[in-house]
Structure 1
Amino acid sequence: MSNDLIVMDNSIVKASYNLSVSEQRLLLSALAQIPKNKPIDPKQAYYITREDFVRLGANADQATRDIRNATKDLMKKTLLIDTNAGILEFHWLSEVLRFDKNADARLKLKYPNPEDYKNYINGLRKYNLLESLPVGRHSDDIVARVVFDSRILPLLSELKDNFTQFVIDDVAGFGSVYSFRFYQMMMQFKSTGYCKVSLDDLRYALALFEKYEATKDLRKWVIDTAVNEINEKTPYKVSYELIKSGRKFTHLELKFKLKAEPKKVTVLRDQNTPDLFHKMSDSQINTYSSILSKLHSISDLAENKDYSAFAVWISNILRDPQSVRAETAKRIFKALQTETDFKR
């Protein structure tokens, strides 16, 4: 799916910036929505939902707070891009709106009288509650709206040469800011499976400044952290070597390749255990998981009353029913057969 693909100019991959994990998730959630190979309206807004953050590994109970904090912080952040004319610095975003779902109720209390109606309507406009939301985005789940800085747009769309792309799900679950950057560096050289960068350039790109000046600290807290997480959570197996020039380590070499496909093993299963939805598309899975998340007959399976998080959990089961106990899979299948018009 095109909305799963992140595309950026190589200059962003090599740029100097420092973003938190939540800021990376916010940025990737917006980047995934940018149309590929099409002009971008400089004022185009991208809507960030709790589901976007949960998909990228955020705790469902903290996703809203993480988004709000990330929008505040990312508005202040800049990136440094090396150009022929010098180092160009600009912000990632030009505008952020954090939706306030309680604004309408507060405005009604503030302007209860008919003569206050104009003030009430103006208040709604201030909170953007009169604006029509984009098709396909669930308004109850939207937390923020962002607009990119116009100067970065040429580096995000209509790219013909010198760009890096990867699937957003490859980086889902990253807990280290360095893993995101290392993975982007790897994907820039995906065709060769080899990447070499000087340690000075690496420190610059990661905006480490005075941190981890000793190579042993850089190895422990940055390189090992990123490499181990990439090996654990992505489709790639990566190894590295630190290269010396004289008595000093000067370069980092990364070698990587796709992990070998696991051998298919025939598993004898209980004939009463359904092989759930193995031919369903992602769109169908998302639709049915949303329906299931609101069914009373399986509501006890939810850890809390967070329907969005419950729907994501169910969608993972629909994709891989063997990830849970057979009895749980049976209950989900029975609920869908009994309470919807779904036909196998």
Structure 2
Amino acid sequence: MNKNLVVKDNALINASYNLELVEQRLILLAVVEARRTNQEIKSDDFLTICAENYINEFGVHRNVAYQALKDACSHLFERRFTYQKLTPKGNKETITSRWVQSVSYVENEAIVRLKFSDDVAPLITLLEKNFTSYELEQVAGLTSKYAVRLYEIIIAWRTKGRTPMFDIDELRNRLGVINDEYPRMETLKRKVIDFAVKQVNDKTDIDITYEQHKNGRKIVGFTFVVTQKSKGKLTISKAKDKERDANTVDIFDSLTDKEREIVNEKNIYADNIGAGEEHRNNLIKQALEQHRQAELETKKKKEREKAEKQAKKAKEKIELDRAKDIFEKIKAEHRLINMYLARNIDPNHLQGLQQIRYNDGDFAGVFEMEQYKFEKLTDFRHLNLDFLQIKQ
């Protein structure tokens, strides 16, 4: 069994909800954790998600993960989703429910503990039909909340190769685009659909294209066409992702991958608050400056640590060379050998050949067997060499 397989009832896949990226990731990790037990999860069962797991799965910085999970916990309880199911009489029932009935963040342990709601629990475990599954790693590289949702929606139709037509309102609801976000079609396509499609195509195991449906000149819906990437193409795609440094500057827009993500996030935020052009530019400028300053400080810290390590290594080499010179100096004079042995050797603790040499009066031979202490700084620094009138 793939331990990192995300399995959801299609009712949940087709649900309408608005979760931020970290909240979606937290739910996904909880779904995976629930499945690990290979038994039915009841609504009163606590699930534990470690920050370490979040860091490993999604490749984020430790401090970022801690704060993101704390923030997600503070909002997740209020998040709702809407889904449909058939009643025993065959009628369609629309249900609105919470994702969780309890969620908490344990400070010093960096873990999240949550209980799924009564409606969610049966939609994620022990499913035998009408479900969708995919590997968590397929969405781990997606940094847009819309890309994660689009992948889930599309992957449910991979065997058919295309989705039904989603009218605009339905698509917005499923992707989690709230009513007053991106009212203009051009903005919706650029900021949500096209951006999500590109991320899915670049970072997952499927390729997506879409067809626009129009009533006159007005776009009224979208149909998505999905193809599974061949193993060769997927391997190449992943290799390119690994080879490309996220800090490498793109020659076309002079921004790194990380910086482009920051710009996109700030554009989305600016759209949400209705920011003007000047305010939008200031938000982006400030975020980029903060990011670049943090990157610069990290770079300087690494360079400083490297320099300190090299300096320490050079200093230790000088000390070892000096220790070897001292050994040769003592070895050359019987008087110094006797003084060394008197200060550093307890005859009662000698063993083997060294004890035999000592008993035979071969003090030069005894000292020769002390050479290892002059080749390792931890031993050398414990020697009493005051008879040489030198500083160690």
Name the TM-score class by shorter chain.
Answer: 0.5 to 0.7
Task: Give CA-to-partner distance per residue, 1:212-242, whole Å, 9 cap, x none.
Answer: 2222111111111110100111111211221
Task: Give CA-to-partner distance per residue, 1:137-161, whole Å, 9 cap, x none.
Answer: xxx5x42111111221111122222
Q: Does 1:192 align with 2:192?
A: no
Stretches of structure 2 lacking an aligned partner (at least 5 in a row): 86-90, 237-300, 303-392
Name the counterpart of 1:143: 111
Stretches of structure 1 lacking an aligned partner (at least 5 in a row): 102-139, 266-301, 304-344
Larger radius of gyration: 2
Query: Does structure 1 conserve the Cα–Cα contact (< 8 Å) formed by 2:33 and 2:49?
Result: no
Q: Does 1:212 align with 2:213?
A: no
Task: Report the 3-state secondary structure (helix = DSSP H, G, I; strand = E; otherwise coil) of the residue aligned with 1:34.
Answer: helix
Aligned partners of 1:14 and 1:210: how far apart in 2?
21
Q: Does 1:43 align with 2:12?
A: no
Task: Report the 3-state secondary structure (helix = DSSP H, G, I; strand = E; otherwise coil) of the residue aligned with 2:63.
Answer: coil
Name the counterpart of 2:252: none
Task: Give CA-to-partner distance per residue, 1:116-140, whole Å, 9 cap, x none.
Answer: xxxxxxxxxxxxxxxxxxxxxxxx5
Q: What amino acid does structure 2 have at the position aligned with 1:76? A: E
Name the counterpart of 1:252: 222
Name the counterpart of 2:106: 99
1:195 CA drift (Å) = 1.4
Aligned partners of 2:180 and 2:105: how far apart in 1?
34
Give the percent of matched residue pairs that are identical in Structure 1 and Structure 2.
28
Q: What amino acid does structure 2 have at the position aligned with 1:74? A: L
Specify which of 128, 133, 136 is matched with residue 165 of structure 1: 133
Aligned partners of 1:161 and 1:251: how far apart in 2?
29
Equivalent runs, 1:103-114 vs 2, <5 Å: none
Specify which of 61, 64, 74 is matched with residue 62 of structure 1: 64
1:260 CA drift (Å) = 2.9
Query: Does structure 2 conserve the Cα–Cα contact (< 8 Å) formed by 1:57 and 1:174?
Result: no
Aligned partners of 1:165 and 1:171: how far apart in 2?
12
Aligned partners of 1:218 and 1:184: how far apart in 2?
19
Task: Report the 3-state secondary structure (helix = DSSP H, G, I; strand = E; otherwise coil) of the residue aligned with 2:34.
Answer: coil
Which region of structure 1 is more displaced relative to structure 2, 86-95 or 18-27? Answer: 86-95
Name the counterpart of 1:203: 172
Aligned partners of 2:41 and 2:112: how far apart in 1?
20
Q: Does 1:225 align with 2:227?
A: no
Q: Does 1:155 align with 2:123?
A: yes
1:207 CA drift (Å) = 4.1
Name the counterpart of 1:73: 75
Aligned partners of 1:56 and 1:147: how far apart in 2?
22
1:163 CA drift (Å) = 1.1
Name the counterpart of 2:15: 15
Name the counterpart of 1:179: 147
Q: What amino acid does structure 1 have at the position aligned with 2:142? A: F
Count of aligned positions: 229
1:85 CA drift (Å) = 5.4
Aligned partners of 2:170 and 2:130: how far apart in 1?
19
1:259 CA drift (Å) = 2.1
The CA RMSD over aligned residues, in Å, is: 2.4
Aligned partners of 2:227 and 2:61: how far apart in 1?
30
Query: Does structure 2 conserve the Cα–Cα contact (< 8 Å) formed by 1:174 and 1:229?
Result: yes
Query: Does structure 2 conserve the Cα–Cα contact (< 8 Å) formed by 1:174 and 1:180?
Result: yes
Higher relative CO (Cα under 8 Å, sequence separation at least 6) belongs to: 1
Q: Does 1:237 align with 2:207?
A: yes
Aligned partners of 1:14 and 1:258: how far apart in 2?
21
Task: Report the 3-state secondary structure (helix = DSSP H, G, I; strand = E; otherwise coil) of the residue aligned with 1:82.
Answer: strand
Task: Give CA-to-partner distance per residue, 1:13-38, whole Å, 9 cap, x none.
Answer: 12111111110111111011123763
Aligned partners of 1:158 and 1:20: how far apart in 2?
27
Runs of 4 or more above 6 Å deviation? none
1:247 CA drift (Å) = 2.7
Query: Does structure 2 conserve the Cα–Cα contact (< 8 Å) formed by 1:15 and 1:81?
Result: yes
Query: Does structure 2 conserve the Cα–Cα contact (< 8 Å) formed by 1:238 and 1:256?
Result: yes
CA gap of 1:217–1:145, structure 2 versus 1, over 3 A, is same
Aligned partners of 2:119 and 2:226: how far apart in 1?
33
Equivalent runs, 1:272-291 vs 2, <5 Å: none
1:178 CA drift (Å) = 0.3
Q: What amino acid does structure 2 have at the position aligned with 1:166? A: Y
Task: Report the 3-state secondary structure (helix = DSSP H, G, I; strand = E; otherwise coil) of the residue aligned with 1:192.
Answer: coil
Q: What amino acid does structure 2 have at the position aligned with 1:87? A: T
- The TM-score normalised by the length of structure 2 is 0.54
Query: Does structure 2 conserve the Cα–Cα contact (< 8 Å) formed by 1:26 and 1:71?
Result: no
Name the counterpart of 1:284: none
Task: Report the 3-state secondary structure (helix = DSSP H, G, I; strand = E; otherwise coil) of the residue aligned with 2:213.
Answer: strand
1:41 CA drift (Å) = 2.8
Aligned partners of 2:154 and 2:105: how far apart in 1?
34
